[in-house]
């Protein structure tokens, strides 16, 4: 260790309001992106099925329909902030699969942008949780009040 930087114990103070706003923005952006991708998959159903079939997915019709609906509902649940950590993890998995199918395995700038958006917004949600602007926070407040009533 150099003598220029002595051992200093630093403490990180987190502004809870800013953290909650940042987590809300992550949920908002990735939720709307997932809903957009799911609705695009459902509105252009034939192309989505052809893409899934060309990529070699088994049981193309039910699997594609389940993937598109799951992505739609996971996006809605992320917007609300309900079971956020689990939904963020599932959204990461299903969102990447739907993105690959949506773009037919072709790697262009929009595909890379969608993958980076999902990764950059869903990883903090998986690790840190939803913040105070969510239904998870309201549910935990109700549980704490019921538990500590005395």
> Is 0.85 surpassed by the pTM of this model?
no
Q: What is the mean pLDDT of the chain?
A: 88
Whether residue 73 is contained in a domain is answered as yes
Say how far apart CA 126 and CA 128 lie, in whole Å.
6
Say how far apart CA 46 and CA 53 lie, in whole Å.
10
All residues at 6 or more sequence positions from 122 whose CB lies less than 8 Å from its CB, including other chains: 26, 30, 88, 89, 91, 92, 95
Show the domain range for 128: 18-147
Whether residue 115 is contained in a domain is answered as yes
How many domains in the chain? 1
Whether residue 5 is contained in a domain is answered as no
- Tell me: the pLDDT tens digits for 77-99? 999 999 999 999 999 999 899 88
Task: Evaluate if residue 2 carries a pLDDT over 60.
Answer: no
């Amino acid at each position: 260790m150099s003598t220029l930087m002595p051992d200093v114990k630093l403490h990180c103070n987190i502004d809870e309001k800013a953290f909650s706003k940042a987590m809300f923005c992550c949920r908002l952006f990735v939720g709307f992106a997932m809903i957009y991708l799911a609705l695009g998959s459902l509105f252009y159903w034939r192309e989505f099925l052809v893409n899934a079939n060309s990529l070699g997915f088994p049981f193309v019709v039910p699997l594609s329909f389940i993937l598109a609906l799951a992505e739609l509902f996971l996006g809605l649940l992320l917007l609300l902030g309900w079971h956020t950590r689990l939904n963020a993890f599932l959204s990461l998995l299903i969102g990447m699969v739907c993105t690959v199918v949506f773009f037919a395995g072709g790697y262009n700038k929009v595909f890379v942008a969608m993958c980076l958006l999902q990764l950059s917004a869903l990883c903090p949600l998986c690790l840190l949780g939803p913040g105070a602007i969510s239904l998870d926070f309201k549910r935990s407040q109700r549980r704490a009040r019921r538990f500590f009533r005395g």
